[in-house]
Chains A and B, each alone.
Chain A
Amino acid sequence: MRLVTAIVKPFKLDDVKSALEAVGVQGLTVSEVQGFGRQRGHTEVYRGAEYTVDFVPKVRIEVLVDDADAGAVLDAVIMAAQTGSIGDGKVWSTPVDEVVRVRTGERGTEAL
């Protein structure tokens, strides 16, 4: 099993959610995060003074998937979250040893 994590632009969340549902994803977790990438945040002018916004708001999306589905899920997130402008975010996957569904105690791929 794999954990696919994506950091994307907040307004793209709905698109990503629909795209994931379309590839059969049954559940996901979303959290509000902040970060920066190569653009190192951006500067904003407020009342004549220039402020550097170091940490740009993003959403983090996490999905537990079967090994075989990881590639398709990654692609679905990328397609849905892409705007082509800087700050689109990143998607990656990490190996997962074990998964338990809390309600039933089911383990492994059954818990997905």
Chain B
Amino acid sequence: MRLVTAVVKPFKLDEVKAALESFGVQGMTVSEVQGYGRQRGHTEVYRGAEYTVAFVPKVRVEVLVEDADARDVIDVIAKSAQTGSIGDGKVWSTPVDDVVRVRTGERGVEALS
């Protein structure tokens, strides 16, 4: 199993969610995070003074998937979250040893679907 994690622009969350649902993903976890990448945040002008917004608001989307689906899920997220402008974010996957559905105690792939 794999944990696919994406850090994307907040306004793209609905599109990512819809794309994942149409792919067949049954659940996901979303959290509000902040971060920056190569653009090192951006500067904003407020009342004539320039401020550096070091940490830009993002959403983190986490999905547990079967090994065979990991690459497709990454692509689905990357496509749906893309705007083409800087700060679109990243998607990555990490190996997961064990998953348990808390309600039933089911383990492994059974706990995913």
A interface residues with partner B (beta carbon < 8 Å): 1, 3, 17, 26-31, 62, 64, 94-103, 105, 111
State which of A3, A29, A96 has its C-beta within 8 Å of the C-beta of B58: A29
Residues B64-105 near A (CB distance < 8 A): 70-71, 74-75, 77-78, 81-95
- Secondary structure dominating the interface of A: strand
| B37–A26 touching, CB < 8 Å | yes
What chain A residues lie within 8 Å of B94 (beta carbons)?
3, 94-97
Q: Does B34 contact A (CB under 8 A)?
A: yes
A95 touches B34 (CB 8 A): no
On whether the beta carbons of A99 and B78 are closer than 8 Å, the reply is no
Chain A CB within 8 A of B2 CB: yes
Task: State whether A101 and B88 are in contact (beta carbons under 8 Å apart), knowing that A29-B58, A31-B31 are contacts in the complex.
Answer: yes
A97 in complex: contacting residue of B54, B75, B88, B93, CB < 8 Å: B93
Residue from the list B2, B70, B78, B90 in contact with A64, Cβ < 8 A: B90
Chain A positions within 8 Å of B38 at CB level: 26-27
A102 touches B88 (CB 8 A): yes
Using known A-B contacts A3-B94, A30-B55, determine if residue A98 contacts B74 with beta carbons closer than 8 Å. yes
| Measured CA separation A105–B75 after assembly (Å) | 9
Contact A102 B90 (CB under 8 A): yes
Q: Is the CB of B36 within 8 A of A98?
A: no
| A103-B88 in contact given A29-B34, A31-B31 (Cβ < 8 Å) | yes
Bound-state CA distance A94–B3 (Å) is 11
* Residues of the B chain whose Cβ atoms lie less than 8 Å from the Cβ of A102: 6, 8, 77-78, 81-82, 88-91
A31 touches which of B34, B54, B86, B91 (Cβ 8 Å):
B34
